[in-house]
Amino acid sequence: MVDLATLEQAALTALQACTDEPALRAWNTRFFGKHGEVLQALKGVGAVPPDQRKSYGQEANRLKEDLLARYENALAEVRARTLEQSLQTDRLDITLPGRPAPRGRLHLSNQTLRQIYAIFADMGFQIYRSREIEDDLTNFELLNMPPHHPARDMWDTFYTTTPGVILRTHTSPGQIHVMRELFPRPIRVILPGMCYRYEQITARSEIMFHQVEGLVIGEKITMADLKGTITAFARRLFGPERQIRIRSSYFPFTEPSIEVDVDWPKDDPISGDISKGTGWLEIMGAGMVHPVVLRHGGYDPAKYSGFAFGMGPERIAMRKYGIDDIRQFWKNDLRFLSQF
Ligand code: DAH
């Protein structure tokens, strides 16, 4: 007959000595395994004299329940402690600052285009997208520039291997597309987009650049509407401190034709190359739509008239932000681009 009190004391002492999970498991095997001391004590109940059997059995069961409960507690405690420890030591320091992702932004040309869109939207203009790959017919002939017209020299361009298919030299051919699509409705649109020219690259001209074309057609459109629209636009874009100059010019597709300059005072250190010492930078051509062009678009010049303009957003941005070289726009130099 096992002495239960001695057994209990031994089990408790051994349990207290366990400091980790493997030790606890070993304890469990020692007392509750197949040949465990407690189980053996329980099995031994048959050998106990009958008069003590009941109290022995009860005591052995109590002891078993009690020890198992203590064991579970100790196991839970050890596990909690281990978890706590690993939380302390294996801690992931999420307070470390991350590597900043480089922030992008809109290219200065796009920013400028959007400013221009917003102003014309307020004046009731819609945006019309025309094609960048044009045919010679629409880029030149329908705009009143027959083959061998001397004005074509101003717009030499990139030809493709398909005869008559070129990269557009200006956004003006879009006028033909709009008119043919919208006839006979009145028109008030801007046509933004990229243009291409085969020309000498300098501080003020590039082989690719944006233009924003404008076209207004109706029954009583006059030069006064053109001047009013352009002046209102320039005021809003540049603010009242910039001056605008309108002077007469020549384009085959307008009659009369004008050009619009923005002042670039001669005492400004970067004015030299850009304004060629004149104190002005040309930012757009414009005029009253030539009757031949109206007719090519389907509008009868006896009934309709209209004005058109074509401006250079990169030139406008140069004036607005004091940029001294148009080549900066497509260099992809972050030191330049991230300033805006
Ligand atoms: N297409 C001309 C150019 O690229 C600019 C221009 C002049 C556009 C007069 C117009 C216009 O619409 O009426 O130089």
Cβ of 254 closer than 6 Å to ligand 1, yes or no, is yes
The percent of residues in the chain predicted with pLDDT above 90, rounded, is 67
User: For all residues of the chain together, what is the average pLDDT?
Assistant: 92
Please indicate, yes or no, whether residues 9 and 144 belong to a single structural domain of this protein: no
What CATH number is given to the structural domain containing 202?
3.30.930.10
Please indicate, yes or no, whether residues 195 and 294 belong to a single structural domain of this protein: yes
Q: Look at residue 289 and tell me if it is in a domain.
A: yes
Cβ of 174 closer than 6 Å to ligand 1, yes or no, is no
Which atom, in ligand 1's list, is nearest to the CA of 172? 1
pLDDT score of 29: 93
Lowest mean pLDDT among 30-34, 169-173, 309-313: 30-34
Q: Look at residue 97 and tell me if it is in a domain.
A: no
Please indicate, yes or no, whether residues 267 and 133 belong to a single structural domain of this protein: yes
Q: Look at residue 100 and tell me if it is in a domain.
A: no
Mutation test residue for ligand 1: of 132, 149, 166, 170, the one with most atoms within 8 Å of CB: 170
Task: Tell me whether residue 247 is exposed, middle or buried, using C-beta atoms within 10 angstroms of its C-beta: 0 to 12, 13 to 18, 19 or more.
Answer: exposed
- The rounded distance, in Å, linking the Cα atoms of 188 and 200 is 34
Which atom, in ligand 1's list, is nearest to the CA of 287? 13
- Taking CA atoms only, the protein residue closest to ligand 1 atom 14 is 285
pLDDT score of 64: 92
Give the count of domains, the chain. 2
**Of the residues 32, 63, 90, the one at which a domain ends:** 90
Q: Look at residue 95 and tell me if it is in a domain.
A: no
pLDDT in tens, 38-64: 888 888 888 888 898 899 989 999 999
Please indicate, yes or no, whether residues 125 and 199 belong to a single structural domain of this protein: yes
Long-range contacts of 110-116 (CB under 8 A, 24+ apart): 111/317, 111/340, 112/313, 112/314, 112/316, 112/317, 112/320, 113/192, 113/210, 113/212, 113/313, 115/237, 116/190, 116/192, 116/212, 116/237, 116/311, 116/313, 116/316
pLDDT at 272 over 70: no
Cβ of 139 closer than 6 Å to ligand 1, yes or no, is no
In sequence order, the 6+-apart residues with CB closer than 8 A to the CB of 227 are 246
Please indicate, yes or no, whether residues 237 and 168 belong to a single structural domain of this protein: yes
Cβ of 290 closer than 6 Å to ligand 1, yes or no, is no
Please indicate, yes or no, whether residues 170 and 277 belong to a single structural domain of this protein: yes
pLDDT in tens, 84-101: 999 888 887 788 888 888
pLDDT score of 202: 78
Cβ of 286 closer than 6 Å to ligand 1, yes or no, is yes
- Taking CA atoms only, the protein residue closest to ligand 1 atom 9 is 286
Q: Look at residue 131 and tell me if it is in a domain.
A: yes
pLDDT at 271 over 70: no
Please indicate, yes or no, whether residues 124 and 259 belong to a single structural domain of this protein: yes
Cβ of 168 closer than 6 Å to ligand 1, yes or no, is no
pLDDT in tens, 291-337: 999 999 999 999 999 999 999 999 999 989 989 889 999 999 999 99
pLDDT score of 227: 97
Q: Look at residue 133 and tell me if it is in a domain.
A: yes
Domain that holds residue 127: 108-337
Lowest mean pLDDT among 209-218, 250-259, 313-322: 313-322
Please indicate, yes or no, whether residues 47 and 149 belong to a single structural domain of this protein: no
